[in-house]
Amino acid sequence: MKASHLTALAFLLPFTCFAQKLPTDSMLLISLRKDFDAVDKFSPAPQFRWLDLNTAPDSSMLSTTDVAELIARAKGKRVLLLIHGMNTPAVRAINYYRGVAHWVNGPTAPYDVVFGLLWPGYQLKRSKVQASLAFLKANPSARRSGKKFAGLLQELAGEARSLDIMTHSMGSKVALSALKKQDGMVDKLFLMAPSVGAKTLGKHRKYEASARHVRDKAVVFFSNNDPVFRALGKKMMGYQGMVSKKPLPEDKFLNIDCSEAVYRHSAYWSSQQVFEVLEH
């Protein structure tokens, strides 16, 4: 499997370039968190709120809606679903999602609508012991989030004209767990810094079934200069991309090596190159 080697200067671009007034000034958020933004507890059922894209990202100021509105918004549309990683408070996730939504309203964007998912990914503490405990708890929380979201994901896939998913870090486990537990198909899966083993999409591996529910393409953005994966280990997909004993079909599985440009774990969210890949 070949990797695209990207130049550092061309890779990063602040989202301020996309900060024009939006034709559509809101996006819909789906939350699996208790009280919509608790970082460590699940809600009994998914919650839905509108986000005003042109005001401060304070979740308490968002108006509520329901699943019927979500499905109506997706029906017949080209949909992009965003899933954050662990250690992401609601305000930070909303900032990431806002940047993507600004881009989607641009003239060359291949999407009609963006949805953002919030899941209880815990929050790291200053203490190394507490940080380690948060990480250990976030892993099963990500898998549980995927299982809880699977039914809704299948419904979205059935109503949308196309459905792509873009994840960051441990959000990859949310998406892959959801895909594993549902029968629908998504079109493209974009994994930024995926916090899963490098071999997990291969044959007879943990998420092989998840990969089968991706119709068009699975793209992994990775960096061996990402400090998070230097700490977690070099066998992670976010460090070295997808790996398989038998070569994965290059028309469906693509690795993009961002090592020359990405030195921060969250830098993918502000990457012009990521958006260029989404456009194709």
Q: Is the pLDDT of residue 82 over 80?
A: yes
Q: What is the pLDDT of residue 94?
A: 92
Which is more confidently placed, 11 or 78?
78
Q: What is the pLDDT of residues 174-207, one digit of tens each?
A: 999 999 988 889 999 999 999 999 999 988 899 9
| Domains in the chain with CATH codes | 3-278 (3.40.50.1820)
Q: Mean pLDDT, to the nearest integer, of 46-52?
A: 92
Q: What is the pLDDT of residue 233?
A: 76
SS (H, E, C) 134-198: HHHHHHHHHHHHHHHHHHHHHHHHHHECEEEEEEECCHHHHHHHHHHCCCCCEEEEEEECCCCEC
Q: Is the pLDDT of residue 135 over 80?
A: no
Q: What is the pLDDT of residues 249-279, one digit of tens each?
A: 888 999 999 988 888 899 899 887 788 888 7
pLDDT tier at 171, thresholds 50, 70, 90: very high
Q: What is the pLDDT of residue 20?
A: 38
Q: What is the pLDDT of residue 55?
A: 75
pLDDT tier at 4, thresholds 50, 70, 90: very low
pLDDT tier at 143, thresholds 50, 70, 90: very high
d(CA 68, CA 66): 5
Q: What is the pLDDT of residues 212-229, one digit of tens each?
A: 999 999 999 999 989 888
Q: What is the pLDDT of residues 115-127, one digit of tens each?
A: 999 999 988 766 6
pLDDT tier at 78, thresholds 50, 70, 90: very high
| Residues 238 and 229: beta-carbon distance below 8 Å | yes
